[in-house]
Structure 1
Amino acid sequence: MTFNPSQAPSDPGRQARQPGCKHGVMDSTAPMDEWPQIGRVEVEPGSLDGPGVALTVLATELDIDIDESTRGEVPADGWRVIRRHPEGGVMFAAPVSADRTRWHVGSARPGTSQTFHVSPEPERLRPSRADRRGGLVLKWAPHMVDTGIPDDFVVEVVNEGDATWWPDGDSFHVVGVFTEPGRSDFSFGWAGMHRDGGVPLRPGEYARMRVDVNSGVWENIEPGTYNVQAVLVDLGIRADPPLTVTLTKDAIAARRHRHPSRRSARDERRMIEHDIQRLHAITLAAESLDIVLAAVRDAESADDAATALATALDCDQDVARLIVSSPLSKFNAVSRDRTAQRIAQAQRRIDAL
């Protein structure tokens, strides 16, 4: 996932209004920081109003296919576009409860004849990040102001409000980014597998958190003076001012030496890309079960089946062997949704490298 803190408080017009979109009025002038969220998806203001449209109508408008097995698992009506990405992707949703607090969320890329993907479980409607963070601020721990490079970067999530702060599904995961001194605009990617759950904080209380700095940074960074930007990603809170550190050649070498067994960013990327290839092959196999069955039925051994399947699906032999040995339940609708989520999660890991 990619985050640009300089756009979080104010990002007018980032999402263009689509002329032909009849299922919900979208206000693209509101800052994304003030948009409500379904799960962790920002929702364009106004898009949840109104009754929505039938799933078949939405599919026709967006030029996407509906998987027949999915059709019976999601609401038939109430669908509307909730978010349009600049690169062409679309997020849409339909309520599953009368009070509209829980929604099924789906995604697709219109015009590509792509079957849309819908989350297997409904997501909860939440207030915006601006509303949820209340009186919380992010401060560097007092010992961080010392010169040199610390063993770990540490911040404090402080409640400076007048009321107890309660988490609403938010984590206290804080990401750190090195920037040139004086620079305030930056972006970064992160993967949300290691999440530090938020805890209630009474006025004046704080939680001390370690800042997650991508280990790959130390492979390429040069000696010099930097600002360390810290962002609590779930709530869009940024430590202000940033921490200024001077990195010497010895300090950088010590950091690299501290984790000698870690894979390089290149090796990590190669491993994740192979995993994505494997998951895409499983998705393709689920959509081409007749090919899978023919390869298994006509083969005299598992190896022969894998060889035939690797050719038919244009995947490597190891992936084909995995498909051949997979139970049929791997290819049902629920498993396909989970595979799509794992692909998205793997892509976020690549973005975070």
Structure 2
Amino acid sequence: MKIAIIGTRGVPNYYGGFEQFAEFFSVYLAEKGHEVYCYNSHNHPYQEKMFHGVHIIHQHDPEYKYGTFGQFIYDYNCIMDSRKRNFDIILQLGYTSNSIWFFLLPKKPIIITNMDGLEWKRSKYSWPVQQFLKVAEWLAAVSSDYLVADSLGIQSFLKKTYKKESTYIAYGAYPFNSPDESILQEYKVEKGGYNMIMARFEPENNLDMVLEGVSLCEKKTPVLVVGKHETKYGEYLKNKFRYFPHIRFMGGIYNLEHLNSLRYYSNIYFHGHSVGGTNPSLLEAMASQALIAAHHNDFNKGVLKDNAFYFSSPNDVKELLHTAVKSDNLQKIKNNYEAIEKDFNWEKINGDYLQLFEECYARHLAGNQG
């Protein structure tokens, strides 16, 4: 099959979950003998035309100049380019800035859309933007040939709201069992002697709640805050907690080996995400054998079940910092690791996507012959 992946900033991953998935899945498809194309921003750090057998198509992306509005132009450029490529399948990752161009998508390919996670619920968006995102979600739901939901909660929502069936396929992670303790020296921490939180700096990821709990706690155990913080919200948090030197804003860390080892050797890994489906960084924390304390919501509970601690307030966080010790909770960690091996490993996820593609393509060919 000739397959395109649109809706991301490109591969290899320098940004987030969809980019990570696009990187792993596109390479997997190429290794299986398919002709795969991935759209990249023109200013993506990777400027080659091929990436491990995947064709890279760079398109102009003015986000650096216009902010969020630039994403709409970038997606428009990708979709217009796709009209001349004769693809069999186009996989859209998300709908935020591309579903308004649905009428420009080429007619021949099968359009499969991963519906992401209720973007309109994100508190960073104003009311008018949230209303727009609801419309964008509806457009993607009704205009795509097939939908993918990355959590059972999203699948249920799509069925109830749009009367549309979807295929449940979560994100994946690679089981990690080869930590490198020497990496800790680079980050000035000691084995078991620090906690972590990793997230985009957005209000619904509850960084403020976690750090507020840290500030209330008498224990001054270092907390590594991982994520790009050169944002308005990041500046707010850095200013608010500037008198707590054990709260360390690390910036983005994209070396997966370093991240895995940091998660592995941390005492508590806080996961504050409260909106969306199956979060990639949560799965990676499970795969890294971290002891997880997650924000209490259905998305996180659906993945972690009873194998994590949960918090809903700064006081909950403070209490966990006093009481939760990794070595006392090895069964929780083991259960999460086994869930990665069984349900969330990349081989299974990639295979599930490819099976969906093959079924959709076979149905498409049979329909055309009929």
TM-score, length-scaled by structure 1: 0.29
- Bigger proportion of residues as strand: 1
- Bigger proportion of residues as helix: 2
User: If you compute each CA radius of gyration, which structure gives the higher value, 1 or 2?
Assistant: 1
